[in-house]
Amino acid sequence: MSCWIWPRTSKSYENFYHNQKHSWEALQAAVAELAQNRLQLETHETAGPALARMEEILKMKQPYGQLHEVADLVRTARGVNDQIVTEARSPAVKEIQGLLSSTVQELESVSADATLRSRATAGLSKLLEEAEQATSIAHIAQARQAAEEARDQVLNVIEEALGHATDVHTPGTAPRLKKHRVVEAKALWTGDFIESAEEMEAFLSKLRAALQAALDNDERVQLK
């Protein structure tokens, strides 16, 4: 980011500090904020040019004659930014909330104690908060992906805890939870597309075999 300095004796310098410093600081703050979502904003028909102009003004050695543009430029770019962030945040938050809710239901189904509940939900709760507060689309996406990974770890934690509980209880008194097996459907097909009935049947055959193997091992399946 450019930093320009006028001679302290110049009237431009005095005018800047008396009348335009706020606009300059607002411009700096806005560009720093919007740069988080540069890839999305640059391709937008109004936000792209607005952001480019804002950065152009920042690089000028004497931009005081252009600072009157700042308010409209910031309003335009921020309006689009707020919209695309909301559009990215809404499904991410919904998905993480779903993962957290299903985890709570899982814990309730096995009568988990307070310690296990806290341990199993802490990570997802933190990621939900991050997704709700993040202003970067990349950070929202990262929270969403991390939540999926955290959910897998949560299932392992619950299964491990209940396994230990079973070891120290009389058979039948400890809650039972089947272990889970992740079946990644995409990994069962090497091509980009399924384009024929034969290919469809080949894929379904692989999927059926993977599902059957889990069921035969008394496991429940988590599809991805």
- Helices 70-109/47-59 angle, 10° precision: 120
The model's confidence at residue 103, banded by pLDDT at 50, 70 and 90, is very high
Residue the block writes with tokens 């720093």 = 32
Q: What is the pLDDT of residues 154-196, one digit of tens each?
A: 888 888 877 755 444 444 555 567 888 889 888 998 888 999 9
Instruction: Decide: pTM greater than 0.85.
Output: no
| Alpha-helix runs per DSSP H in the chain | 11-15, 21-34, 38-42, 47-59, 70-109, 114-133, 137-168, 197-216
Q: What is the pLDDT of residues 14-31, one digit of tens each?
A: 565 556 788 889 999 999
How many C-beta neighbours within 10 Å does residue 154 have? 23
Question: Would the pLDDT of 89 be above 90?
Answer: yes
The model's confidence at residue 133, banded by pLDDT at 50, 70 and 90, is very high
Query: Tell me, what's the pLDDT at 79?
Result: 97
Full 3-state SS string of 168-208: HCCCCCCCCCCCEEEECHHHHCCCCCCCCHHHHHHHHHHHH
Question: Would the pLDDT of 109 be above 70?
Answer: yes
